[in-house]
Each structure stands twice: as structure tokens, then as C-alpha cells.
Amino acid sequence: MRDYRNAKAMAKVLRDAFAEREQAIKQSEALEIVARQFGLANWNILAARIDGVAENSAIAFEQAVPIVRIFDVAKAHEFYLGFLGFKVDWEHRYGDNFPLYTQISRGGLRLHLSEHAGDATPGGNMVIYMKGIRTFHAELSAKNYRYMKPGLHDEGTRLEVEVTDPFNNHMRFMEVKDA
């Protein structure tokens, strides 16, 4: 499937199709038609978009994984695993009676929880964009977690569910509404 990065090839195919019908159009006219097919006003706007992709194609960021400071493993498990529904991917300790460093995940979101003093500051904030926030909110509400009863807030362009873990770390789950 072609996309806007193939605009010049699409314009050539368009010119060839017109030529087969003995209707000649200029390359510039074909480019303008292709730009309009992508909902853009003209070829210059589409060309700028193509150039912007080419300039940045060498850099690709993958998912950021926040480190969240915790003080009590049992309370962290009750909140993150029991209430929010995450699962433990792995755990690490340097030895017996050492602080825990662990990765938890759910639905593509990964978090690192750490008891190590220098890894993160308690009371942090994070924004998590997601799909299915109404279902997520209903799931949280059904668990009847004694320490938190999060609401679903309509902020105009997005829906939000905000939770705070036992260590005062804030998580805002957001779903952008369709325009």
C-alpha cells in the first residue's frame, strides 16, 4: 500500500493513466492532484511533509520506561498487580535483604519499580496515553480497592482516569477523543 512518501511515483502512474487515454497532463498537475488526494491544499505542503520524514528517518525512539520509587513491596504489589492489573516480568536484587528492582507490564506499558533510593523521587507524575479507558475505568471500579476510587473525567478533547499509588506517585491515564 502506498502512502504520501510515494507521491512522486503516484503522480507518474496518474500521468501514464491519462496518457493511455490520450489526455496529457503535466507532472506538476499530477503532483497537485496527488496532494489533494491526501487532503492537502497543494504539492508544496505534501513535499514539506515528505522532506520532514526523510530528515528524521535515522532517529527512532522506542518506548520510554518510567522508574517509579516504591518503599514497600507488598503495598506495591497490592496496588500495581492487584488493583491496576499489571504482571511481574522480572525481579532483581543484588543479594539477600537488598532493595527490589522489578519490571511490571500490562497491555504494552512497562514500568520499573525500584526500592533503590537513588533511582527515582517519590511523588512523581506520568501521563499514559491509551485506548479503552472506559473499560479500564469500569475494571478498576469493580475491584473496589479500599484506598482509591478513581473517577472518569471528560476533559473536552480527552478522557482521564487518575490514580495515586501508595508512595504518592501519580498516573494519569488518557484517551484522546476522536475528532
What residues contact 177, with CB distance under 8 A and at least 6 apart?
157, 158, 159
pTM above 0.75, yes or no: no
Q: How far apart are CA 139 and CA 94, in angstroms?
A: 36
Q: What is the architecture, at CATH level 2, of domain 67-176? A: Roll (3.10)
Residue 172's nearest CA partner among 152, 142, 143, 157 is 152
Q: What is the pLDDT of residues 139-160, one digit of tens each?
A: 999 998 999 999 999 999 999 9
Q: What is the pLDDT of residues 100-139, one digit of tens each?
A: 999 999 999 999 999 999 899 888 999 999 999 999 999 9
